């Protein structure tokens, strides 16, 4: 059994590092599972007719869409981390909540919404 997931989220620098690592780990797990499924399907696929080939291709396309969406999430996460790090390096003496822009907060809210839909967990976002 893994660690309990964070459900209370403050959109400030102090709490985002832990949450971003959790999102990154979840994306990696999803990607690894999708790749594993694709590889297993390739090795055990017994194609008898074109209908079988069509069905396998359809399932493979859905799996590839999952891979693409996790890559998009990881890219969005990397952009947020870069912005947070650049803001921190510019203003090392005072860490304020205002250094995260509203655009960053909206992106995070979208990620939380998608994540809550995926795993039926309600997040309390401040």
**How many structural domains comprise the chain?**
1
In a domain, 106, yes or no: yes
pTM, entire model: 0.61
CA dihedral over 116, 119, 120, 124, signed as positive or negative? negative
Indicate whether 32 pLDDT > 80. Answer: yes
The answer to whether residue 75 is domain-embedded is yes
Q: What is the pLDDT of residue 126?
A: 65
The token duo for 118 is 């995926």
Q: Is residue 2 part of a domain?
A: no
Residue 1 lies in a domain: no
Tens digits of residue pLDDT in 85-98: 776 666 554 444 44
User: What range does the domain containing 45 cover?
Assistant: 8-91+99-125
Integer CA distances (angstroms), 32 to 21, 27, 48, 49, 118, in order: 16, 9, 29, 30, 17
Residue 12 clears pLDDT 80, i.e. is over it: no
SS3 9: strand
- Answer yes or no: is 3 within a domain: no
């Amino acid at each position: 059994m893994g660690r309990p997931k964070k459900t209370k989220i403050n959109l400030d620098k102090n709490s985002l590092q832990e949450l971003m690592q959790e999102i990154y780990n979840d994306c990696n797990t999803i990607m690894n599972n999708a790749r594993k499924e694709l590889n297993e399907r390739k090795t055990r696929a017994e194609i008898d007719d074109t209908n079988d080939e069509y069905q396998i291709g359809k399932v493979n396309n859905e799996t590839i869409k999952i891979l693409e969406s996790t890559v998009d999430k990881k890219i969005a996460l990397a952009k947020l981390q870069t912005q947070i790090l650049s803001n921190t390096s510019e203003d090392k003496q005072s860490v304020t909540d205002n250094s995260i822009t509203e655009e960053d907060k909206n992106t995070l809210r979208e990620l939380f919404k998608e994540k809550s839909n995926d795993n039926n967990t309600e997040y309390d976002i401040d």
